[in-house]
Amino acid sequence: MGTGRLRVDLDAVVANWRALSALARVECGAVVKADAYGLGAGPVARALATAGCRTFFVAVAEEGAALRRVLGEGPEILVFSGHMAGDAPLLEGAGLVPLVNSLDQLMRQIEALPGHPFGIQIDTGMNRLGMELSEWAAVAEIALEQNPVLLMSHLACADEPDHPMNPYQLDLFRQMTDGIGVRRSLAATGGILLGPDYVFDLCRPGIGLYGGLPFEHAHPVVTLDLPVIQVRDLAPGEVAGYGNAWQAERPSRLATLSAGYADGIFRALSHNLVLWHGDTPCPAVGRISMDLVIADVTDLPEEPDSLTLIGPRQTIDQLAAGAGTIGYEVLTALGARLARSHVGASA
């Protein structure tokens, strides 16, 4: 097989969901938007549903309709983008719950799908999605007559526990929703870790399920091995890769691996990437190209069949740090060309 091999440990996903549920002590749903952060929404959602997860979140109605085909009737599927123009047939056909973001969306919902369940997003300071305090004050009465199933908001700085934005948003959320008696949701992964004040009735973890920070105690979910296509020996002074960006300083052995920036190995990592053979680091050399990475395997006792990019010695967050980004982006950038396999008893 010529492609990189991406293994997704579904038992680890389920263990992370159980661990976050135990921390939250309230119902935990699962955020499976963007194809479950690139790991395969179908297998991930099926495993979580089997483990008892009843509530799933997606970004757009199209994702929700695809997820409904996987999950069948029963689990609740909520849509963060709310009710966009033209969504009504999808929302109705797949039994999705839009989380309406504005008065416009609320009116669209009431007109197009009267009696169909929906939730409401409230903006508590992130200024991204949801009704603000003044809009909510004007709309709440009409909205509540329609019996929304959820009131939710999203924290902007939950990955920084001491950030003053966290208590600020919590206060505002309480001010806007206390006493209403509708199910509430504020916390994603970071919010669960902030403690019981932040969890309300339903949590919405995403990244923590997939082994990423800020859930430090997450079980690792992903391993990515890249096959070696060719190995060659270089004399000192020889160069490698586009732009001759690397030059051998000693007699060197280089392995060319099958994966590149088209697979989500950011080109910006070119001078900052290490692959692993067991416990031995093998630095990437030269520039990362579209389909290939070259690694220095001089220090290995034998020619490797493959090297590990994500695994026990390198987490998604460590890889992300080298590129100045976050684990979320590493996961969602992993390309469609990688051969994904879903392993574990939950698969």
Ligand X SMILES: *Cc1c(COP(=O)(O)O)cnc(C)c1O
Closest CB 267 distance from ligand X, rounded Å: 25
Round to whole Å and give the CA distance between 191 and 204. Answer: 9
CA atoms within 13 A on the CB side of 293: 35
- Does the footprint of ligand X cover residue 64 (CB under 6 A)? no
Whether 37 contacts 332, CB under 8 Å = yes
The span of 186-194, 231-239, 279-287, 288-296 binding ligand X (CB under 6 A) equals 186-194
User: Of 5, 68, 83, 154, which lies in the binding site for ligand X, with binding defined by CB under 6 A?
Assistant: 154
- Does the footprint of ligand X cover residue 204 (CB under 6 A)? yes
Q: Closer to ligand X at the Cβ: 124 or 346? A: 124
User: Of 40, 75, 206, 286, which lies in the binding site for ligand X, with binding defined by CB under 6 A?
Assistant: 206
Round to whole Å and give the CA distance between 251 and 3. Answer: 29
Closest CB 11 distance from ligand X, rounded Å: 20
Residue 209 parent element (H or E):
none
- Does the footprint of ligand X cover residue 287 (CB under 6 A)? no
The span of 110-118, 132-140, 201-209, 289-297 binding ligand X (CB under 6 A) equals 201-209
The span of 5-13, 175-183, 205-213, 333-341 binding ligand X (CB under 6 A) equals 205-213
Q: Closer to ligand X at the Cβ: 76 or 296? A: 76
Alpha helices of 72-203 — where are they, by DSSP H? 88-93, 103-112, 133-145, 165-177, 189-194
Q: Closer to ligand X at the Cβ: 187 or 307? A: 187
Q: Closer to ligand X at the Cβ: 33 or 340? A: 33
Q: 74-103: which residues touch ligand X (CB under 6 A)?
A: 80
Rg for the chain (alpha carbons), in Å?
Answer: 23
Q: Closer to ligand X at the Cβ: 222 or 257? A: 222
Annotated catalytic, 328?
Answer: no
Angle (deg, nearest 10), helices 10-24 and 41-51 = 50
Q: Closer to ligand X at the Cβ: 21 or 189? A: 189
102: Cα separation from own chain's centroid: 25
Round to whole Å and give the CA distance between 186 and 80. Answer: 13
User: Of 10, 188, 320, 331, which lies in the binding site for ligand X, with binding defined by CB under 6 A?
Assistant: 188
Whether 276 contacts 311, CB under 8 Å = yes
User: Of 10, 14, 30, 31, which lies in the binding site for ligand X, with binding defined by CB under 6 A?
Assistant: 31
Amino acid present at 201: D
The span of 104-112, 202-210, 228-236, 313-321 binding ligand X (CB under 6 A) equals 202-210
User: Of 29, 75, 117, 205, which lies in the binding site for ligand X, with binding defined by CB under 6 A?
Assistant: 205
Closest CB 202 distance from ligand X, rounded Å: 11
Catalytic residue among 168, 198, 242, 328: 242
Tell how strand 5-9 and strand 339-343 pair up.
Answer: parallel
Q: Closer to ligand X at the Cβ: 31 or 170? A: 31
Closest CB 230 distance from ligand X, rounded Å: 38
Whether 324 contacts 267, CB under 8 Å = no
CA nearest to 194, candidates 208, 176, 210: 208
Q: ∠ at Cα 13 (337, 316), nearest 5°?
A: 55
Which residue matches tokens 């983008």?
Answer: 81
Residues contacting ligand X: total by CB under 6 A: 12
User: Of 207, 254, 297, 310, which lies in the binding site for ligand X, with binding defined by CB under 6 A?
Assistant: 207
Annotated catalytic, 37?
Answer: no
- Give all strands (DSSP E) within 113-270, no chain letters: 119-121, 150-152, 184-185, 202-203, 222-234, 239-240, 246-247, 252-258
Q: Which residues are catalytic?
A: 33, 242
Applying CB under 6 A, the residues found at the interface with ligand X are 31, 33, 80, 154, 188-190, 204-208
